[in-house]
Structure 1
Amino acid sequence: MLYTIVGLGFIAIGFAIGWYGVRPLMVVPSVLRATVQAPSEVTESDSFVVCQGIANKSSETITAPFTGMRCLGFEFEVTERQAFGVGVPWFQVHLDDGVATHPFTLDDPAGGLIVVPSSKRFVLDTESTVFTVDATESLPERIQRFVDVRDGLEPVAGWVRAVPGLGARRYIERRIDPGEEYLIAGVTKRQQNEIVLTDNLVITDRSPRWFALARLRRATFPTVIALVLVVAGLGGIVL
C-alpha cells in the first residue's frame, strides 16, 4: 500500500513537471506553420500572425535593471548555485524574477504594427545578458542598487559561502532593444480602431526554426525528469 501511495505521488509530480516543460512548446507548431509577414501587411483582427520588423518606441523607454540600457521591455531572473540532494550536482536555484514593458511599434519600410505585450504573460525568447558573481565577490554597483530594493535577495548564507563552488549568483537580463529586428507572433485584436498585437506573445530575435529549437532544448530537462518520476511511480505501484 505504501509503495502505491508513493508511486502515485511520483506520477502526479512527474505530470506536473512534464506540463511545466511541455507548455511553452504549445505555440511552436503555429509559429512554424505560419508565413512570416511584414508588420504593414497585418490588417485583420482575431487572427494568429507571425511578423518581423524593427522595434521602435511608441511612447517611452524603460531602464533595464542590470545593464542600465534603455529598452522597450525587459525580463530578469536571479539564481543561486546551491547543493542538490547530497551536494552533487550543483544547480541554480531560482531566487527572483520580474518583467517590465511598454507598448511599442514593429516597423517595416511600408508601415508598422502596435505591439502591447501583457505584463502578466511576458516571456522573451531573446539573447540573455548574464552577470555571474561569486559568493565572495562584491556586486557591481548597479546590481547592488537593484538588490537593495528587492525583497527576498538577502546575502548568500554563510554555510553556502563555506562550500567551494556554491553561492555564485547569476543575474540574467533579456531585453527588447529599440532599433533591433524581432520576430513577434500572436493573435491580433482591434483596439481604438487599430489592429494591435497583444496579450500572450512570442517575442524573439531568432528565426522561427531557431526559436523552435531553443524552446525544445529548454523543454528537454524537465521532460526527462518527468519521465523518470512517472516510470519510478509506475514501478512503485507494480511492486
Structure 2
Amino acid sequence: MVFGLSGSQLFGVGLAVVGTIVLAFSARYVWRATSIYRAEVVSMLGETTPGALVRVSGTAQQGDADLLSAPFSGNDCLALRYAVEERRLSPFLLPWFVTIHELAGSDAFRVRTAEADVDIVEPARTVTLEREIVATVPPSDEPPERIARFERTTDAVPVTTYWRSPPSLVRPLTRRLSLGTRRYSEQRAMPGDEVTVVGRVTETGDGIDPLVVSDRPPSQTLVRMAKTSLVGVCLGVFVVALGLVLVLL
C-alpha cells in the first residue's frame, strides 16, 4: 500500500488523472467551437474594442504575405489543413483510416466584406474547410512525385510502417483488407473563396487574430469542430467516473 491506498485505488487515481486531462483538452476544443456563436458579427472593425471576439464573413483575398503551397496538390492557398491517413486495424479488428500526420495554418490574408477589407494578421489555430482527397495510394504503389518528395523530407511521416510492410506470412491478408493504404487530403481556402473567420481584434484594432477559418455556415462549423471533441469529453467523463469508483470502493 502507498499513502494508505490499495493497488486498485492507486490505479483508480491514475485513471482519474488521465480522464481529467482528456476531459480538459476536449472541453477546451468544444469551447473553441462555440466561439462561432459567441462572437459578435461584424463587417468592418471600425470602433470594435481590441480583444473583442468577432466573426467576419466575405471573400478571401491575398494580403501582404505570399500564398501557401499545398504539399500534395501544389495549389496556392491562403489557409490550409492537410492530413496523411493510413488504413490500419481498429481495436475492434476492423480496418479504418488512422491519421498519422496532420497540420493546419494560414498566413496573413484579407476578408473582403460588403463594407471593408478586414485583415487576418496571424496564423489560424483551426482550419475547417471542404476536404479533398488528393490521392489514395496502396502500399504496393508508388505515390505521386510531389507526395513522395513530401514524405522523404518530412520526419513526422514515416516512409514505411508495419502496416505497409508487414511480415510475408500475413501479407496476403493485409493486402486483401487494403491495410497500409495511405490517403492524402487537403482543406484549402483559395483567393476568391467565401470564408468565415472567428477571432479576436488585435490590440491595435486594425486586424483579427483568428481562432477559426471555415467555409461552412455556423451550425455546420460547430458540428464539424465539436463532434470529435464530444467523443473525448464523453470518454474523459467515463474514465474519471471509473477512477473515482475504484478509489471509493
Give the TM-score range, shorter chain.
0.7 to 0.9
Q: Aligned partners of 1:33 and 1:20: how far apart in 2?
A: 20
Partner of 2:154: 150
Q: Which has more strand, going by share of residues?
A: 1
TM-score (normalised: structure 2)? 0.81
Partner of 2:72: 66
Larger radius of gyration: 2
Q: Which runs of 5+ in 1 are unaligned?
A: none
Q: Aligned partners of 1:104 and 1:80: how far apart in 2?
A: 33
Q: Aligned partners of 2:71 and 2:191: how far apart in 1?
A: 16
Report if aligned partners of 1:77, 1:98 keep a CA contact under 8 Å in 2.
Answer: yes
Aligned pairs (5 A) from 1:99-110: 99-110=104-115
Alpha-carbon deviation of 1:75? 2.1
How high is the sequence identity, in percent, across the aligned residues? Answer: 23
Alpha-carbon deviation of 1:35? 4.2
Q: Aligned partners of 1:8 and 1:173: how far apart in 2?
A: 41
Alpha-carbon deviation of 1:91? 4.9
Partner of 1:224: 234
Q: Aligned partners of 2:140 and 2:106: how far apart in 1?
A: 33
Q: Aligned partners of 2:101 and 2:33: how far apart in 1?
A: 27
Q: Aligned partners of 1:81 and 1:6: how far apart in 2?
A: 33
Partner of 1:187: 200
Partner of 1:202: 212
Q: Aligned letter for 1:147? A: E
Please say if 1:175 is aligned against 2:188.
yes
Partner of 1:159: 166
70-79 vs 3-12, greater mean Cα deviation: 70-79
Partner of 1:211: 221
Please say if 1:126 is aligned against 2:136.
no
Aligned Cα root-mean-square deviation (Å): 2.4
Report if aligned partners of 1:117, 1:201 keep a CA contact under 8 Å in 2.
Answer: no
Residues 62/31 of structure 1: CA separation in 2 closer, same or farther (3 Å cut) = closer
Partner of 1:23: 28
